[in-house]
Amino acid sequence: MNTNKIYKAYSVIIMIAMAFSFTSCDDELVDNSFENGNTLEISTPNTEVVLEEQFFNNNVTFNWTKGSNQNTGSAIKYTLEVDLSGNDFSNPLVTLEENVQNKFSHVINYGDLNNYLLDNGLQTNQTYELTARVIAKFANKAVETQTATTNFSVTTFKPVSNQLFIVGDATPNGWDISNATQMMSSTSQRGVFIYTGDLSLGNFKFPVNQDGCWCQDFYTKDPNDASKIVYNEGGSGDDLQWTIETELNPNEDYRVTVDLLNLSIKIEIVESTINTPPFSNLYIVGDASESGWNVDSPAAFSQDGNNPFLFSYEGLLSTGNFKILAGALGDFCGEWYRPNADNMDLTNGSVEQNSGCDVDNKWLVTDSNKGRYKITVDTQNNLITFNKVMLYIIGDGGPNGWNINNPAPMSYINGEYVFVGPLGASNPTGEFKISKFVGDWCGGDWINAATASQSINNTNFINTTNCDGPDNKWKLKDGEAGNYEIRINLETEVITITKQ
């Protein structure tokens, strides 16, 4: 064989192999993950959104590309904001994402988006042109911040009331609107409220609260269809009411189901499933309470929406005595819940329901056990519980993280709950909320921020119970981690958050 030909053949093979080798090495130096998305872009398939409460859980979606770290290998954090078109985002309406990594979309349902917009000053039943902006920031400061925007329109809606009452001479509490009977909210259907119980001969309609003014919002009867309701904002419109014309047997109840979203009502007679609580209202009376010995307008207990036999009161108990008034106001010798012995300690257990002034036992609050309490009376089983109110910080922005079994406690000092310590130690952009309990996520009362991902500079708050209501939290921003003093005064309903 010709050695020159063999040598040339080997040379060609070696050159081809080297060419492949160099191409492979070059590929390793190029970050191809950004080849098709090196320009930051944002889009939404929902360019014209008409928000409707019937479709509360429908979603608006925002998608964005990765942008480019200019082949530096730098980590990228994204912030997603929404503002009115034409504004400069100096004070955006909503921040939906803040400094998130490896996330390229955000989904928000109609209800939450509507609430965000209304909470930030937009009006109901109006169409707004909005702009969504995504910001990409890089850990490597040599790479400039990148932004992208997309425009869309949103039509807002006025949310229906989250509570409803029934009032009228057919109802248990008559036309006393400040004492109107609260209806139960359905756990399976938004905007549906149910009353089950006795209705007398007479009329009724539905206010949205117990404010004394008859100029508030009402739901009344449709003049053309008794199975339909009409929303009368501010008491406007015709004051048409439903009429009860049939008295029921003792083993029967009326069940009234009101659907605020579909503006419908259903009135039916059902077999009685529960007994009526012995009293529709309870009140705390005594010099240990905020009411003093005033039996004409004492502080009221709240009736449980799911179990009408349960009544709860939360407030400050000072040194002195108290008892619990039931039934009619203004009568010292009327109906009461009292302890089994006079000057009884704040002990959980049985409670006596009696009337008159012959036996006038009272609970005693001493200097050693005074403070803020939640008192619960079970009128079905004649039981009472006293829980001293404590507050705890829950969240990855707090000292103990999301440990509901061992949250960070606040100290009770001169009528205020006080926390002094670090926020954001484990997560510099963490969140937190306040609980009044330990051990069960749905086992008690919460103090939540008024809006989701709320700034710690905004101390507006709401109260929620168990796992009901919006789970809003305060959220730290970059650079805000540090030592803080948090003070909560539940009497004046004021929270202060001060960096130390």
The per-residue pLDDT for range 132-151, each reduced to its tens digit, is 999 999 999 999 999 999 99
Residue listed under structure tokens 């995504």: 134
In this prediction, residue 424 carries a pLDDT of: 95
Which of 210-219, 284-293, 331-340, 466-475 comes out lowest in average pLDDT?
Answer: 210-219
Query: Strand ranges (DSSP E) for 328-436?
Result: 335-338, 349-350, 352-355, 363-365, 371-378, 383-388, 392-394, 408-409, 411-413, 416-423, 431-435
| Position 402, amino acid | W
Q: What is the pLDDT of residues 438-459, one digit of tens each?
A: 988 887 899 999 999 999 999 9
Assess contact for 436 and 394: CB atoms under 8 A: no
Work out the average pLDDT over 23-39: 42
Strand boundaries in 424-499, DSSP class E: 431-435, 445-449, 454-455, 461-465, 474-475, 482-489, 494-499
Query: What pLDDT score does 467 carry?
Result: 83
Domains of the chain: 34-155 (2.60.40.10), 165-271 (2.60.40.3620), 282-387 (2.60.40.3620), 392-499 (2.60.40.3620)
* Torsion sign across C-alpha atoms 381, 384, 385, 389: positive
61-88 pLDDT per residue, tens: 999 999 999 989 899 999 999 999 999 9
Q: Is a pLDDT exceeding 60 seen at residue 425?
A: yes
The mean pLDDT value for 358-384 works out to: 94
- Say how many C-beta atoms besides its own lie within 10 A of residue 383's C-beta: 14
> What average pLDDT does this structure show over 461-482?
92
Local confidence band at 469 (pLDDT 50, 70, 90 cut-offs): confident
Maximum separation of any 2 CA atoms in the chain, in Å: 131
Query: Higher model confidence: residue 233 or residue 200?
Result: 200
Q: Is the dihedral of CA 479, 480, 481, 484 positive or negative?
A: positive
- Token pair for 168: 């009228």
Give the pTM.
0.48
Backbone angles phi, psi at 115, to 5 degrees: -65, -40
For residue 423, give both structure tokens.
């926020």
Give backbone dihedrals phi and psi of 326, rounded to 5 degrees, phi first.
Answer: -125, 155
pLDDT above 80 (res 476): yes
121 is written with which tokens? 């000053």
Token digits for 66?
Answer: 């990765």
What's the pLDDT at 274?
59
Query: Tens digits of per-residue pLDDT, 152-199?
Result: 999 999 888 888 999 999 998 899 988 899 998 887 788 899 999 889
Which residue has tokens 């179990």? 307
42-63 average pLDDT score: 90
β-bridge mates for residue 222, sequence order = 225
DSSP-derived pairing of the beta strands 454-455 and 474-475: parallel
Q: What is the pLDDT of residue 20?
A: 38
